[in-house]
Amino acid sequence: MAAAAIAAAASQKDMGWYKTGSVKKKPALTDPVQLYSLCEVVSSEGSGPEAVLTVKVVDPYYDNPVDYLPQGGGVKKGETLTVTRENFHAANPPEQDMCMDLGELDNMHEPGLLHCMGMRYCGGSKTESQVTSYYCTFIGPICVATNPFAPQKAWKNSFNRDDYVHSKGPVMQNKKLQPHPWAIGDMSYNELLTEGNNQAILICGESGAGKTECCKFVLDFLVQKKESLVENLTDKLLATNDPLEAFGNAKTVNNDNSSRFAKCMQIALDREGRVCGAEIQTSLLEKARSCAFFVQERNFHIFYMLPYYRHVKCQPDPGEKQQTDTSDALDMLGEKAHKYLMEADKYNNVKQGDVIVDTEGVRYRERFQAGDIDWYKRVISSFRVSLGYTKKDTDEMISLLVGCLHLGQLEFKDDDKSEILAESEDDVAIIVRFHHLLMPSILPR
């Protein structure tokens, strides 16, 4: 959306926006984004909404080098169009191009909002690189975050959390600080302490919009505001992210780390504003994904981490500080899982997400293996170091997951679905051993 909203600043002339088509980004399955071009009024006949305007195109959006496909016609710079005043949206003055709060715009309409967020995203220039850019914008007490698809540390103007934590006065009123999810955390924090009422922060958006990252930002802000008196509580809260995402997130068509469940985090603070407890409730887990998923997607991340950690030897991705040494696989997986884990492409329920090749010709295993191995190290560290699980606990947990992988290997007779084929006998034996079950009666007789 932000990339499609880039356009030249309007001058003091009679400038405005006119819908000239739509764009759809590959391979997204969402509806096309409406496309507006910046135009200058050349002449006008009549009055009111039905007035006929002759306008000249000053800047068509899709001249920009972005991965968008123009649909529904199209125009070129300098082209003359005939439009009605009703369909022509007045442009805001150029000094509002980088407005921090969309509620302060003179004209509130779709092209005006898109233009402002787009100009903030690209730092006011659609041609220069390495400019100071901002991917968040306020709408009153709401923060609109445009996903930059890059870690915050990679942004030229990396935001400093401490500036927000130690802001003199509310962050939203501090004009030296740019919009950021931390500002929402600050607003809720201050109102909780001053009014004494429970606060709720709603983080919503389509798949890939950045909900998970925004949730991390807000949580990180709250726990850093004042040091907790509960020993290691901050570390425990932050340590829940890696396990939750490993077990509940998956790659979808639009998002490599899409949450496939809903999460409600309840953070308790004492009267001094220190975090003193927390509870995380999850719901609506997409359980069907463990059995089947669409092309270009993967099963839950954890089902790839396990076989990769057992069988893959690789180097960190270029430019990444990843830990990919798997010489400790026996300790990290447990004896049973280490013994019976097969390679990812041997498991029916995860094979597709391992062997498929992406649009750049890279097999998913090569694309994700280093990140998955590094992530698994953090998951086990979170369990054993921060969350208080023992090695026996994690070994049993991983054994159950490996048993689930082998459940997907079972094949039943066509004429009698209550009986398993002889080829599946070994998998049944593994499942029975991992899940502490009695040998089932559906084995071949």
In a domain, 127, yes or no: no
Residues 33 and 74 in one domain: yes
Confirm whether 101 is domain-assigned.
no
Are residues 46 and 66 located together in one domain of the fold?
yes
CA-to-CA distance for 149 and 166, rounded, in angstroms?
28
pLDDT of residue 156: 56
Preceding omega of 27 cis (within 30 degrees of 0): yes
* 407 close to 346: Cβ distance less than 8 angstroms: no
Contact, 265 vs 282, CB < 8 A?
no
Do 226 and 323 lie in one domain? The reply is no
Q: What is the per-residue DSSP string for 254-280?
A: S-TTEE-SEEEEEEEE-TTS-EEEEEE
Last residue in a domain, options 238, 259, 287:
287
Dump pLDDT digits (tens) for 411-445.
887 777 677 887 788 888 888 877 665 555 544 44
Q: How many helices (H) and strands (E) does the chain have?
A: 13, 12
Separation in Å, CA 106 to CA 51, 87, 251:
22, 18, 41
Per residue in 233-279, pLDDT (tens digit) is: 878 888 999 999 999 999 998 889 999 999 899 999 999 999 998 89
Query: Do 48 and 31 have their domain in common?
Result: yes
Q: Which of 258, 287, 316 is the last residue of a domain?
A: 287
pTM, full prediction: 0.79
Q: What residues contact 125, with CB distance under 8 A and at least 6 apart?
A: 131
In a domain, 445, yes or no: no
Q: Are residues 265 and 196 in the same domain?
A: yes
Q: Is residue 410 one of the residues assigned to a domain?
A: yes
Q: Are 250 and 225 in contact (CB under 8 A)?
A: no
Residue 243 lies in a domain: yes
Query: Do 390 and 255 belong together in one domain?
Result: no
Q: State residue 378's pLDDT score.
A: 97
How many domains does the chain divide into? 3
354 and 234, same domain (yes or no): no
CATH classification at residue 194: 3.40.850.10
- What's the domain range around 216? 136-287
Last residue of a domain, one of 287, 314, 342: 287
Within a domain: 246: yes
Please give the full DSSP string across 65-130, using - where no structure is assigned. Answer: -SSEEEES----TT-EEEEEGGGEEEPPPGGGTT-SBGGG-SS-SHHHHHHHHHHHHTTT-SS-SS
Length of the chain: 445
Residues 283 and 293 placed together within one structural domain of the fold: no
Q: What average pLDDT does range 95-103 have in this prediction?
A: 93
Note the pLDDT tens digit of each residue in 29-80: 445 566 788 999 999 998 888 899 999 988 876 444 344 444 445 678 888 9
Q: Same structural domain for residues 386 and 354?
A: yes
In angstroms, the CA 117 to CA 104 distance is 13
In a domain, 71, yes or no: yes
- Neighbouring CB atoms inside 10 A of 318's CB total 6
How far, in Å, CA of 196 to CA of 295, rounded? Answer: 49
Amino acid at 113: L
Same domain, 300 and 431: yes
pLDDT digits (tens, 9 = 90+) for 151-198: 666 555 568 899 999 999 999 999 999 999 999 999 999 999 999 999
Same domain, 316 and 326: yes
Domain assignment present for residue 161? The answer is: yes
- Determine what percent of the chain is predicted with pLDDT higher than 90: 58
Query: If we measure between CA atoms, which residue out of 62, 67, 4, 64 comes closest to residue 33?
Result: 4
Q: 175 and 256 share a domain?
A: yes
